[in-house]
């Protein structure tokens, strides 16, 4: 395949993967529906930067080396699973909070003072997800040949980052439209509950799988 075909295939596979439900998707849905467009967009930026870093690590072989060292990969899995479980517990706690404790003024203050927190939440959720590491190692090793030009590899990184930012930003934008925002905000505790269960299940599954495998080492 020529480089244009490789890049087109890479873009198509990544786009399908982005639309698959997972921690990144749930994070945008939960926060954009509760805190609004600005928070959702900064989370989208954080997620896309995490994906860019994963892509760079995969292209340079760093991710492959981590995956090939059981102790390092297990440490990443434990850290990632713990972080997702932390997000899940936080979301479940939010689902049980009284609606009276989250007035419009507090919401505005959250939006203005926590852009960095929203970016960090998105970045950490993606970069600490061990499944993302495995996915990008597989994606890059199977679609991007070692003989590909430097310009082609740079284009691959740009495609992965820009598509991620486009998808998550579009999702945050649509979920925070004025008409939909009102309905979603009324259902925010149910969204928090669903996302909390998803984060917790994924986190617990990663922790259980990792700890089970360690017992056999």
3-state secondary structure at position 98: coil
User: Which pTM value belongs to this model?
Assistant: 0.82
34 conformational bin, left if phi > 0, alpha if psi -120 to 50, beta if neither: alpha
Q: What pLDDT, on a 0 to 100 scale, did the predictor assign at position 1?
A: 63
- State the DSSP code for 139: H
Q: Specify whether the CB–CB gap between 121 and 54 falls below 8 A.
A: no
CA distances from 1 to 5, 136, 142, 144, 147 (A): 6, 20, 12, 10, 12
User: What distance in Å separates the CA atoms of residue 92 and residue 98, rounded to the nearest whole number?
Assistant: 12
Q: What pLDDT, on a 0 to 100 scale, did the predictor assign at position 35?
A: 80
Q: Could you identify the residue written with the tokens 């850290």?
A: 79
Q: What pLDDT, on a 0 to 100 scale, did the predictor assign at position 109?
A: 44
pLDDT tens for each residue of the chain, 217 residues long: 688 999 999 999 999 899 888 899 999 988 887 788 888 999 999 999 999 999 999 988 887 888 788 888 888 888 888 988 888 888 788 777 644 454 444 444 444 347 888 999 999 999 998 888 888 988 888 888 878 899 999 999 999 999 999 999 999 998 877 777 667 666 777 777 888 888 898 889 888 888 887 765 5
Boundaries of every domain in the chain: 3-214
């Amino acid at each position: 395949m020529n480089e244009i075909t490789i890049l087109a295939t890479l873009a198509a596979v990544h786009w399908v993967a982005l639309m698959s439900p997972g921690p990144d998707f749930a994070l945008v849905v939960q926060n954009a529906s509760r805190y609004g467009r600005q928070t959702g967009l900064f989370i989208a930026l954080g997620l896309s930067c995490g994906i860019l870093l994963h892509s760079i690590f995969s292209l340079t072989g760093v991710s492959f080396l981590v995956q090939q060292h059981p102790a390092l990969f297990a440490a990443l899995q434990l850290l990632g699973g713990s972080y997702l479980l932390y997000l899940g517990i936080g979301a479940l706690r939010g689902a049980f909070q009284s609606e009276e404790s989250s007035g419009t003024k507090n919401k505005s203050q959250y939006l203005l003072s926590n852009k960095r927190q929203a970016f960090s939440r998105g970045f950490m959720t993606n970069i600490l997800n061990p499944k993302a590491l495995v996915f990008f190692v597989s994606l890059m090793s199977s679609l991007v040949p070692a003989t590909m030009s430097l310009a082609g590899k740079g284009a691959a990184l740009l495609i992965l980052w820009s598509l991620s930012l486009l998808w998550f930003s579009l999702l945050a934008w649509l979920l925070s439209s004025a008409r939909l925002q009102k309905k979603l905000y009324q259902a925010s505790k149910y969204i928090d509950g669903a996302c909390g269960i998803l984060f917790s299940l994924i986190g617990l599954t990663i922790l259980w799988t990792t700890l089970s495998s360690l017992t056999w080492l």
